[in-house]
C-alpha cells in the first residue's frame, strides 16, 4: 500500500490511488489533514488544468508547496479531482 512520508511522519496512505505521469495521487480522505496547510501557489498543466498546493508542516518544519492537487481538473483528469500528489523530498513508498 503506497504511503507518503516526510520527516518521519506518514502524511497519506491508501490502497486506493491513481498513478499519473509517474506520480501517485492519494485520495483526499487518505491524507492526514493536520500536516497540510493551504498555499497560495497555483500552476497550470495543459491537460490537467490548474493545480493548487499545500505546504507540509511537521513540528516546526515547513516544506513549502510539497503537495499538489487539482480542485477543478479538465475532463481528461477528472479521475484525480482533489487527489493529492507529493514532491520536494516527500518519499512515496510502495509496499
Pick among 2.170.150.40, 2.40.50.140, 1.10.510.10, 3.40.50.700: CATH of 3-93: 2.170.150.40
- Predicted confidence at residue 13, as pLDDT, reads 98
In the block, which residue shows the cell 487539482? 70
pLDDT tens, residue order, the chain (95 aa) = 999 999 999 999 999 999 999 999 999 999 999 999 999 999 999 999 999 999 999 999 999 999 999 999 999 999 999 999 999 999 999 97
Domain boundaries, the chain: 3-93
Amino acid at each position: 500500500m503506497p504511503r507518503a512520508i516526510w520527516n518521519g511522519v506518514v502524511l497519506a496512505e491508501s490502497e486506493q490511488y491513481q498513478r499519473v505521469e509517474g506520480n501517485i495521487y492519494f485520495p483526499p480522505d487518505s491524507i492526514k489533514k493536520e500536516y497540510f496547510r493551504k498555499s497560495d501557489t497555483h500552476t497550470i498543466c495543459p491537460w490537467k488544468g490548474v493545480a493548487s498546493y499545500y505546504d507540509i508542516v511537521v513540528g516546526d518544519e515547513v516544506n513549502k508547496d510539497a503537495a499538489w492537487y487539482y480542485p477543478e481538473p479538465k475532463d481528461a483528469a477528472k479521475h484525480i479531482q482533489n487527489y493529492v500528489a507529493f514532491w520536494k523530498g516527500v518519499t512515496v513508498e510502495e509496499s
